[in-house]
Each structure stands twice: as C-alpha cells, then as structure tokens.
Chains A and B, each alone.
Chain A
Amino acid sequence: MTLLKVEDLKVHFPIRGGFFRTVVDHVRAVDGVSFELEEGETYGLVGESGSGKSTTGKAIVKLNKVTSGKILFEGQDIANYSSRQIKPYRRDIQMIFQDPYSSLNPKKRVLDIIAEPLRNFERHSPGEEKKIIQDYLDKVGLSPDSIYKYPHEFSGGQRQRIGIARSLTLKPKLIIADEPVSALDVSVQAQVLNFLQDLQEEFKLTYLFVGHDLGVIRHMCDRMGVMYRGRLVEEGTSKEIYNNPQHIYTKRLIAAIPDLEPSVREEKAIARQKVSEEYEQSYSKYFDEKGRAYDLKPISTTHRVALP
C-alpha cells in the first residue's frame, strides 16, 4: 500500500533584493519532484550538498512552505493544510534531524525533551509518563536514569538516540530521517543505522532516508532517488542505481565513492577519470539548455531516469 506519494513538489524560496526588498528571483530548492513510499519500505534521497534533499523532507513535515505540487499521505493531500489541519498528521509523520547538537533544546531535561510530543497529544500522569519515557530510553539503549540529565551531558551518538526516542513516542507511521548519522563518528554510525533498522521491524516504520553518503543509503534503503539541483535525475532499487546507473550524474556520484581496498584503487581512479570525461562531454545530453534535468522516463518497471 502506498503510504506517501509526492507529486511534482516544488519549493521555491524568494530572493529579496534592491531598495524595497522586493522579490527579485527564486531559489528553486525543490523543482518538480515526484516519488512514492510503500508502507514499511525505506526510500533514500541522495545528492550533493544543496541539491534540495532536506528541503524535500522538511516540506513533507510542513517546515517549509510548499510552492506547488501534492503531498498525499494515506491518500490525503496535506500540502496546503493549515497548522490546525496538520495537527493530527503530526502524530503519523515524524522527523529525525541532521544535527544532534542543535536539535535538542539545551535548557531542557531529557525527560521533558522526550515527553514533549506525548504532552501535546496524550494525557498521562507524571508517573505513567516517566515510565513510558524510561521504556523508550531503554529501547534506544540509554540508561533510564538519564531522564533528569541535560543534553550537554551526552555524546553526539547518545543525543541522536534521544532525538530518535522523541520521534518514536507517538508511534508514527513515517519517519523522515535527515542525515541522521552524518554528524556522528564513523564507529557510531553503523550502530545507529542498525538500530534504526531494528526499530523499523519492531514498529513497522516507513523511512524517508535523506543522505549524501551513497554507502549508507545503499545499506539502508530498498529504493532510492538521486537528486540534483532540486530535481530527481534517477530513481530505482538500490541495486539498479548502484550496479546499473544510467544518468551521468549518478555515475559520477557512484564513481566518487572512495574505495578502501588498495588492489582496486588504481582501477577506480581510471574509472573515475573516464566518468569525469564523459560528464564533461555529454553534460548537454542529460540537461536541457537551462541546465535543468529532464523529466523521469521509465526504463524498467522500477527504474526511472531523467532523459530527454
């Protein structure tokens, strides 16, 4: 069943300038993106910095105003809902933020941080509430005694777990994870990622997983979309994208993944060189005269590529 369907989503930010601070142009952060999430799957959005991945995720949780397009959650178009209309959907769609340092209020105790969504939607006595919070803390692998501590008393990885616990308390259906591990140490990354996968099974979660690290995305996601300058240039299962990239940008992204094995390093460097040359030469073939990617065209039942 389709849980989330994004149709031709556009998010444009006005650029103001001149004497009267009038709108002189727009940043087309997201410029016509469409994709679907099946219930229980993990969908990845990859792309370089500034390609509009976060903006797409934030538009779905209504942190960014949608310029045009549809966001269908369980068939309901929530793109233009007012903050009152969206309130019931807040329970179902949650977000894990990129930066575990700024996403927790430094003046709040862990108890108050994790209980915030609960207090907005449910009524519990302080005792019950404490018990629920401690359960979730236990689930994310933190000591139940930490409820009276402040965020600065935790490491980055632990903070991210607090953020994850907070997003779980309302038992959401969809979690948008905006580079949940990019601020973490490599040794902690795998731990948090595996843990997110365990939670997915336990809570039947659907993830929209945003990241710029193709390795992480491949590890996590069933399907993924590659974003470039606010547009999807290729979409398919992780295997398709990884083994059979069609768009020149995807190819370059994959060629850029560093390889740790010394034996293939040489080989890789040559391949990278080749892709780089191809990119220069055939750039105009893949983008229209304004440098905008074409609309996606299916090349198999699951694989779509932006070709003219």
Chain B
Amino acid sequence: MGMNVETVTTAPPKEISPSGMKVIWREIRKDRMAMISLVVLGIVLIAVYSAALFIDKDAVARVDVFSIYMDPSSAYWLGTDYGGRDVFKQLIIGTRNSFSISLGITVLTALIGLSAGLIAGYFGGWTDNIIMRVIDFVITLPQMMFIIVLVTIIPKFTVTTFILIMTLFLWTGKARLIRSKVLSERELDYVHASQTLGTPHWKIILYHILPNVSSLIIVNFTLNLAGNIGLETALTFLGFGLPESTPSLGTLIAYATNPEVLEYRWWIWLPASVMILILMLSINFIGQALKRAGDARQRRG
C-alpha cells in the first residue's frame, strides 16, 4: 500500500491536463440529452459488436431460395429479404459495419488531417504552401465521379476499401480546420517561449499546441462520426457504396427502393432507418455537449 502511494506521487507528470477531461465529463452529466445519448449509444454499440461475434457472416450473406420474403417469426425476428437472408442478423452486422466504417473514416481523416494541419500551421512558409496546394488539388477533384469510378473498377469492394476511398477525399476539411487554429495558436507567446527555451519543434507541436487544439478536435471528431454514418448510408443507398454481400445500414435501407418492400415489408428497412437515427442523434447530442465544454461561455456545468 505504501509503495502505491509512493509511485503515484513520483509518477512522471502528465502532459495533458486532466482538467480538460473533467470539464467534458461534467458538461455531459449536466446535459440530460447527452447523458441519455451516451448510455443509449453505449448499450447499442456493446450489444451490436458482441452479438456480431456470434453471427456467421457468410451464412447471413448466403442466398436461401426456400425462405424468400418471410414475415417476422421466432426463427427470423425481422423476416427475410428477397434472397431469403435473415434481416435481423443483417441489421446487427450492418450496424457494426456502418459504425466501423464511420469510425474508421473519422479516425483516419483525423490522423491525416491533424498531422497535415499541425505541420502546415506550425511551420508555415513553403511547408504550408505545399500542403495547402495538395489540399486545393484534392478539393477540386470531382469527388462523386471518383467514388463512382472507384466503386465500379474495384472488384472486391469491402469495408476497408470503402474507408480508404472516403478518407482520400475527406481529410482535407479537417486539415484546414486544424491549420487555421494552429496558425493563430503559434503566434501566442507560450509557443515563442517554448522556442526560446530550446524545446524541439516536434515537442512543441505534440505537447504544447496539440493539447490546446484538442477540444476542437474532439468536437469535430464526434460531429464527423455522426456525419460519416449518414454519408455511408446515403452512398450505399444510391448504389455507390457497399455491395449486398457486405450488409450495412445502407444496403438494408436500399431495399426500400422496391415499392413492394417499402409498402408491405417495413420490417426490412424501418429498423435500419431507426438505427441510423438513433446513432446519429445520440452522437450529435454528445457532440453538442462537448462543443459547449470547449467553449467556456456556453458551459452549463
């Protein structure tokens, strides 16, 4: 026990202040919607991800001509689709896929955008110039056309390829956002002070500037997470996303393009739609609370 206390007091100092996390937590607790959202999101995600472990993915994707368009029953909780595939299991796997895609895109774009934004903003000059020209180039590309072309030419379209393609186009916004914040941050005297104190540039970027832009990143991260779920669903719905062999919320909702399904078999597409609504709303509510935590004037806690 004595040893324990000893190690706590002499532990190397934390680089990031704990007060930031505390403020966020307090803000979420003060906001009932955010708190409910956090609980709901937590339950849904834990349920979906653990249930997906017990579902045989290939079996779900396999066509079974003997059980086409079955109504909900104890064997098929949400019935089956035109290929005789279990809709409930597709919903589980689909939710997992959709969320993973969104998370993957958000994490990757955040990493790339953050690195590019920090470097461009901190060093400025020609480094900034090159990075900004690359961003301008990516932005001027006709994104939709590229996505459609890539979807058509890539033979085995999976979750990973989808994440990579979307990341290719979506990191630029984050990079610009971070860059503009870093540009103003690096003019502050605490950065100048670090420079005159002999702190290397990479340390200034990671340990001084990054913590000061972290609230911006966290807020942007959550709001993007919600946005990217919608993006995946929309693209898949339009037929430029995942194939039916990889179920996602988008593929399930796409069944509703068949008027017969839309009208008489709501159990195929409605649960997926509700799931999207739940995910996006709850993430957004949490994001709003985080946003307030990042801005002292709006705080409730």
Specify which chain A residues have a CB less than 8 angstroms from the CB of B200 in the assembled complex.
120
Instruction: Tell me the minimal C-beta distance from B49 to chain A in angstroms.
Output: 33
Q: How far is the CA of A111 from the CA of B190 in the complex (A)?
A: 15
Q: How far is the CA of A198 from the CA of B300 in the complex (A)?
A: 46
Please name the residue on chain B nearest to A176 by beta carbon.
B196
- Per-residue contact bits, chain B 185-221, to A (CB 8 Å; 1 contact, 0 not): 0001110111111111100000010011000000000
Specify which chain B residues have a CB less than 8 angstroms from the CB of A170 in the assembled complex.
197
Q: How far is the CA of A169 from the CA of B12 in the complex (A)?
A: 20
Specify which chain B residues have a CB less than 8 angstroms from the CB of A83 in the assembled complex.
201
Contact B197 A90 (CB under 8 A): yes
Q: Please tell me the number of chain A residues within 8 Å of chain B, measured between CB atoms.
A: 35
Determine chain B's interface SS by DSSP, over half rule. Answer: helix
- Per-residue contact bits, chain A 115-137, to B (CB 8 Å; 1 contact, 0 not): 11100110000110000000000
Contact B197 A112 (CB under 8 A): no
Instruction: Tell me the minimal C-beta distance from B213 to chain A in angstroms.
Output: 10
Q: How far is the CA of A104 from the CA of B190 in the complex (A)?
A: 5
B10 at interface by CB-CB < 8 Å: yes
B16 at interface by CB-CB < 8 Å: yes
Q: How far is the CA of A120 from the CA of B200 in the complex (A)?
A: 8
Contact A108 B17 (CB under 8 A): yes
Instruction: Tell me the minimal C-beta distance from A35 to chain B in angstroms.
Output: 20
Contact A87 B193 (CB under 8 A): no
B13 at interface by CB-CB < 8 Å: yes
Contact B19 A103 (CB under 8 A): no
A150 at interface by CB-CB < 8 Å: yes
A95, A106, A108, A121 — most chain B CB neighbours (10 Å) = A108
B42 at interface by CB-CB < 8 Å: no
Q: How far is the CA of A87 from the CA of B197 in the complex (A)?
A: 9
Contact A61 B196 (CB under 8 A): yes
A22 at interface by CB-CB < 8 Å: no
Contact A105 B190 (CB under 8 A): yes
Contact A107 B16 (CB under 8 A): yes
Q: In B23-66, which residues have CB < 8 Å from any A CB?
A: none
A166 at interface by CB-CB < 8 Å: yes
Contact A120 B196 (CB under 8 A): no
Contact A103 B198 (CB under 8 A): no
**Which of A58, A62, A108, A117 contacts B197, CB < 8 Å?**
A117
Instruction: Tell me the minimal C-beta distance from A116 to chain B in angstroms.
Output: 5
B83 at interface by CB-CB < 8 Å: no
Specify which chain B residues have a CB less than 8 angstroms from the CB of A102 in the assembled complex.
188-190
A107 in contact with B198 given A97-B192, A99-B189, A102-B188 (CB within 8 Å)? no
Instruction: Tell me the minimal C-beta distance from A47 to chain B in angstroms.
Output: 20
Instruction: Tell me the minimal C-beta distance from A90 to chain B in angstroms.
Output: 4
Give the top 3 A-B pairs by smallest Cβ distance, nearest first.
A103-B189, A90-B198, A117-B197
Q: Can you spell out 22 A-B residue pairs with CB atoms less than 8 angstroms apart?
A: A63-B192, A90-B196, A97-B193, A102-B188, A102-B190, A103-B188, A103-B189, A103-B190, A103-B193, A105-B190, A105-B194, A105-B208, A105-B212, A107-B16, A107-B17, A111-B13, A116-B197, A116-B199, A117-B198, A120-B197, A121-B198, A166-B193
Q: Could you list 5 further interchain pairs (A-B, Cβ under 8 angstroms) beyond the known A63-B192, A90-B198?
A: A90-B197, A102-B188, A105-B190, A107-B20, A107-B208
